[in-house]
Each structure stands twice: as structure tokens, then as C-alpha cells.
């Protein structure tokens, strides 16, 4: 029996989630951790939940900007799409929310699959750019071990390289694709080479959108704003728990490592990888493991529950179940 790539990812993701959760929560004093959660000032927790809603509403606005050259779509429809998609990522395997977003926007607005995928790929690239750019503030304001600084310089080098490649793809596509093929792709197996080439072409389609008018600059500014707002959710939860080690720049560090951590295959909701990356960041900031675990468990719960609540509201508005939506999306995308 042949096992598909999706099945492999699913089978790998769950054990990885369990492993990272075990690593994250090992040696945690749960009595102390839950006592810290219980004592939190929930006015700040509610404020953090409001920030999460605002953050994802801003993501919908950025997507509207990316889609504008193709079709101008009602903002509320994109807010609904974004919350349903991210809710699906929290409850369904294999990041099904991305497929659902493409399906919904294509079905409602008659936008091609390639164009929709192109804009979502662009979103991810803008997110990487924004996160790594904001991390510069963290490394200026916090002393870190040399090993962490070296790792950061590697990520910064990747960011600069990505910017160069992006510029090349936007304004000299054929030459850039030729160089990528000569330097990297030709050394890969043919099947993998073809898949990467297809992904690059979808990505280039998205870049064509950004070349029009002010869309590139506006999307970059929006991305920096989105992740700056995202860090506020971490900051407010820390404030509510009375954690002095997590300043706003400390919140950016935790957010950055969490964002990198959840790129690893995992179970729905990024369980385990989120906790391991987040608690690791807290340890770097000088927090005890039990205190860090309490903070990360609470901020993760705030994010998941807020997205689930708003996502369910919009799903009810669509008059469709999430399982039905996933089946339709997989059959048509």
C-alpha cells in the first residue's frame, strides 16, 4: 500500500507534537504553573483576546490589498475567510485551513486557484520578512549567548538573500529562474525539482500582483504592523500575569521563536511545537520553566479559543460545517 505525502506528514506530525510537548513540560511544577494562571489579571487576558481579533482582521485587510489587482472583494467576506481558515488550522490536520481559504475565495468570487494560492504564498513570504525584521529590535535590546547570535545572523542572511531573489523574480524573472535552476534545482531529484518549479511559478504569479501600483510597499508596511500587533497579545498576557522579564521587545522574541517553531509538522493547533519554542524563548529571557510554561499555555489558549470563537461565528454565517467544508475544498482545490 502506497502512503501519500499528506499521510506521512500527518503520521509524523502527531508523534513530533507529543515529543515536543514532553520536552516543553518536563520538570514543570504544574501546581505552581496553574496557580500563576489562576492569579492572572483577566482584564489583560481579555485585552489580549481583543488584540488577536484585531490582528486577524488586519490580515484580512492585507489580503484584500493583495487581491485588489485581481478583484476588489468586500472586506467582511475576507475577514470571514481568514478566521475560518485559521480556525481550521487549529482543529483539522495538515493545515487544512489554507486549502479551505483557496476554496472559499474561488467559489464565492470566481478567482482562479493559481491566483489565490499565489497571494497566500506571498502572505507567508511577507510574514517571514516582517518577523525577521522585527527580531532586529530584540537583538539590539537584549544580550544573548554567541550561539543564539550566530543563529540570528543566519536567519538575517536568509532574509537578505530572500529579498534579492524576490527582487530578481519581480523584475528579471527569466534570468533569476535560470540562476536558481543552475545553482540549486538541477541538483535535486527530478520529481522534487518539478514541484519546486511549480511552486515558484505560483509564487511569481503572486509577485506580479505586487508590482502593480503601491501594493508592494503597502503590503510590507501592513505585515510589519500585523506582527507588531501580534506581539502585543503576548505582552498583555505577560502583563496580566505580572511577568516582568517580558517587555514588549521580549514579547517579539517569544513571538518570533513560536512562529519559527510552528513551521515544524505537528498536530492541529500546533500543540507541542508551540509550547517548546515558547518556553525555550522564556528561558532565554531568564524566566523559570514553570513560570514560562504557565505563560505559554495561557497565551496559546487565548489565541486558540479566540480564533475558534470568531471562526465558529463566521462558519455559522456560512451555513456549513467545517468537516463538510474540508471535504468540498479537498475535492475541488
Which pLDDT tens digit goes with each residue over 145-164?
Answer: 777 778 777 877 877 887 78
Task: Specify the pLDDT at position 211.
Answer: 65
- Tell me, rounded to whole angstroms, the distance of Cα 179 from its chain centroid: 29
Task: Give pTM, 2 decimals.
Answer: 0.88
20-79 pLDDT tens trace: 999 999 999 999 999 999 999 999 999 999 999 999 999 999 999 988 888 899 999 999
Q: Dig out the grid coordinates for 251 from the structure.
A: 514579547
pLDDT > 70: what percent of the chain?
A: 89
194-234 pLDDT tens trace: 777 776 766 676 666 666 656 778 888 999 999 999 999 99
Q: Dig out the grid coordinates for 121 from the structure.
A: 504564498
Contacts 24+ apart (CB under 8 A), 85-89: 86/56, 86/307, 86/311, 87/307, 87/308, 87/310, 87/311, 87/312, 87/315, 87/322, 88/311, 88/322, 88/325, 88/326, 89/268, 89/269
Amino acid at each position: 500500500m502506497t502512503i501519500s505525502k499528506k499521510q506521512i506528514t500527518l503520521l509524523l506530525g502527531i508523534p513530533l507534537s507529543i515529543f515536543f510537548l514532553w520536552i516543553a513540560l518536563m520538570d514543570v511544577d504544574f501546581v505552581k504553573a496553574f496557580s500563576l494562571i489562576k492569579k492572572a489579571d483577566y482584564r489583560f487576558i481579555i485585552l489580549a483576546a481583543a488584540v488577536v481579533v484585531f490582528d486577524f482582521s488586519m490580515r484580512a485587510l492585507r489580503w484584500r490589498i493583495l487581491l485588489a489587482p485581481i478583484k476588489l472583494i468586500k472586506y467582511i467576506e475576507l475577514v470571514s475567510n481568514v478566521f475560518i481558515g485559521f480556525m481550521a488550522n487549529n482543529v483539522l490536520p495538515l493545515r487544512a485551513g489554507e486549502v479551505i481559504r483557496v476554496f472559499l475565495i474561488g467559489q464565492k468570487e470566481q478567482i482562479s486557484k493559481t491566483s489565490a494560492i499565489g497571494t497566500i504564498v506571498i502572505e507567508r513570504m511577507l510574514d517571514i520578512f516582517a518577523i525577521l525584521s522585527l527580531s532586529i529590535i530584540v537583538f539590539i535590546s537584549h544580550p544573548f549567548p554567541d550561539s543564539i547570535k550566530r543563529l540570528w545572523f543566519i536567519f538575517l542572511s536568509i532574509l537578505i538573500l530572500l529579498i534579492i531573489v524576490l527582487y530578481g523574480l519581480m523584475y528579471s524573472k527569466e534570468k533569476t529562474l535560470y540562476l536558481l535552476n543552475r545553482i540549486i534545482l538541477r541538483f535535486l531529484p527530478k520529481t522534487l525539482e518539478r514541484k519546486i518549479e511549480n511552486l515558484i511559478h505560483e509564487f511569481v504569479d503572486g509577485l506580479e500582483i505586487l508590482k502593480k501600483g503601491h501594493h508592494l510597499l503597502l503590503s510590507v508596511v501592513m505585515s510589519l504592523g500585523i506582527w507588531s500587533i501580534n506581539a502585543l497579545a503576548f505582552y498583555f498576557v505577560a502583563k496580566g500575569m505580572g511577568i516582568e522579564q517580558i517587555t514588549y521587545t521580549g514579547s517579539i522574541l517569544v513571538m518570533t521563536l513560536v512562529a519559527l517553531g510552528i513551521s515544524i509538522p505537528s498536530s492541529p493547533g500546533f500543540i507541542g511545537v508551540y509550547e517548546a519554542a515558547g518556553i525555550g524563548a522564556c528561558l532565554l529571557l531568564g524566566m523559570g520553566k514553570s513560570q514560562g510554561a504557565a505563560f505559554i499555555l495561557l497565551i496559546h489558549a487565548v489565541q486558540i479559543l479566540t480564533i475558534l470563537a470568531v471562526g465558529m461565528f463566521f462558519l455559522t454565517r456560512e451555513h456549513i460545517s467545517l468537516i463538510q467544508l474540508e471535504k468540498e475544498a479537498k475535492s475541488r482545490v
